[in-house]
Amino acid sequence: MDEIQNILCQMVEKKCWSVVAGKGTGSAVAIDIGGKIQRKKPLTNPYLTEEQRQYQCEYGLLIDCSWRLDSSIAVICSSKDSNEEGGVMLSGLKELINQRIVSVEVFMPAIDLQLHFDNEMTLKVFCDETNDVDMADNFTFITPKMNYTVGTKSQVALEARHL
């Protein structure tokens, strides 16, 4: 638990600068955190911003499992909301842009997460991928040197990151 907590706490004090979600991604969300690293070859996806096409994240979170975004007084959106342009999911997730992560909580044994932002938003990640047939991932945490994937039944796999 301590090792996973320490790894995930590398996000603390870092700002979120990009969120990618919406039509074509289902309920999956990609969150870019920390510094911006120039891509060797810019992406060509017209649905991304120029910044997203030119840069990759120092730290990142790719969420494939269930998640929910709460403010201090209300539920803002979740992985179950419509991901259409102008919908609840995308407008809610935009609230994370330029917000600093003030703390990260990890809940074992599932490795559920709570990311607390300085605007009093909390992103809750529920590792609910348990089907041995589908073998789906819950989330991947990207660091400058490694990718940590929390897969089916919260099994953790490591892979070197190649920039």
pLDDT at 60: 97
Segments making up each domain of the chain, as ranges: 2-160
CB-CB neighbours of 13 under 10 Å? 12
- Rounded to whole angstroms, how far apart are CA atoms 125 and 66? 6
At 138 the three-state DSSP class reads coil
Q: What is the mean pLDDT of residues 115-141?
A: 96
CB-CB neighbours of 114 under 10 Å? 15
pLDDT at 150: 97
- Rounded to whole angstroms, how far apart are CA atoms 25 and 83? 8
Three-state SS letters, 1-67: CHHHHHHHHHHCCCEEEEEECCCCCCCCEEEEEEEEEECCCCCCCCCCCHHHHHEEEEEEEEECCEE
pLDDT at 1 over 70: no
pLDDT at 105: 96
pLDDT at 3: 85
Q: What is the mean pLDDT of residues 100-113?
A: 97
pLDDT at 124 over 80: yes
Where residue 22 falls among pLDDT bands split at 50, 70, 90?
A: confident
Q: What is the mean pLDDT of residues 73-78?
A: 98
The structure's pTM equals 0.94
